[in-house]
Structure 1
Amino acid sequence: MVNDTISDFITRIRNAILVRHKIVQTPATKITIEITKILKAEGFIEDFEIFEQSSKQFLLIFLKYKDFGKKPSINFLKRISKPGRRVYLNKKNLPKTIGSYGIAILSTSSGIITDKKARLSEIGGEILLYIY
């Protein structure tokens, strides 16, 4: 049993990218499914599937590479808010990412959303992770 499912999720993706795997399998939870949907919508991954094995749900994430499989689309993943230190930001202090390339994923009262949608909705929340 993993205490921090988001950190486990990020670590599995980061390790798969380091060894140039095309597919990574992670345990499926509500929050990891929502983060994966955002990654697909923003173009960081190709696709994902949810499957069940021995009454447990898993995510199969198909990673995306550029330049004929040489460079990964995800260059940087960092967990910000951790179980030991939660980081909350109001609408005025939302993070700025590098140009329009990277995103920050937040947990808000409206669900798991990107920093761009949080700015448009004018809401703050717990900042989960950065992705470039």
Structure 2
Amino acid sequence: MDEQSVVNSRVLRWLLRALAGLCIGLGAIGIVLPGLPTTPFLLVAAWAAGKSSPALRRRLRAHPHFGPALVAWQDHGAIPRRAKWLAVTLMAASWILLWFSIEHRGVIGLVGAMLAAMAVFLFTRPEPAPPESESRN
């Protein structure tokens, strides 16, 4: 992403930077707080940063822990295999808890169908290529 993709409005750039900062903060809290996701907040932060601040976007993409996943998603739509399995496992656990929590089987079926659709989406995304050092072994 280059300077051309940065929005022209100063107010909108400020709002997008504030959104990026808020999402980075919520993502950081999500690392330690169960139930608060990290990844969606970081994806929104990367999008907002790309529209408002090329320097912030570069910093997010260069982050040692989150950067590789952001780069894989933004550049190739790729999701690591471990993340796919973790997401589907947590979705299944959530659905099982829902099964025992409510009696409205229609709601349970609808939620199950949505989670199944999300699982299909996840597993149809490509996986990032291994780093050069791993592919030579």
TM-score by shorter chain over 0.5:
no
Give the structure with higher Rg (CA).
2
Structure having the larger proportion of residues in helix: 2
Q: Which has the higher contact order (CA 8 A, sep 6+)?
A: 1
Structure having the larger proportion of residues in strand: 1
